[in-house]
Amino acid sequence: MVDMSATLIHHGHIRLLKKAAEIGDVVVVLTTDEEIKKKKGYTPELSFEERKEILESIRYVKEVVAGPWLIDEAFMDSVHCDLLVHGADNVNHVRPERLVIFPRTEGVSSSTLRERVLDSLIEMNLDNKTDTGDKVARFMIELIKKEFRLE
């Protein structure tokens, strides 16, 4: 089992799924939109169904099921999974013998991707020198970056 939100799927996710597939069949427990909204405070860019469709198309993934923000052993048992595979940022309540931790992929996360998109928007905005539109767009982008703690 690999649990993830995968709000913006990236190569770090793929690397984790590939490592998990080397251990056995991979069931992805995908956090629901409601749980993401409750825990992270925003609606994900891709809906649950969109994220599920993408994950199901990845060759390392056998199945995708909806799940809670935190995984416990009762949930693992309910979907018939022996091990939880996670990155080094794991906070799930699972005994060490049922947990496999891999290092996170350096320099990438959904948050860093959001920041890169916003930086690109700023760059495009500054390159297209239009008077007041620049100021408003830049203000909005900076406000978004602060709101999502992307600074």
Active site residues: 37, 39
Tokens of 151: 């600074």
Q: How far is CA 55 from the centre of its chain?
A: 11
Which ranges constitute the DSSP H helices of 11-57? 11-21, 33-40, 48-56
Q: Nearest CA to 30 among 59, 1, 3, 63?
A: 3
Q: Are 55 and 30 in contact (CB under 8 A)?
A: yes
Q: How far apart are CA 11 and CA 62, in angstroms?
A: 18
Q: How far is CA 15 from the centre of its chain?
A: 13
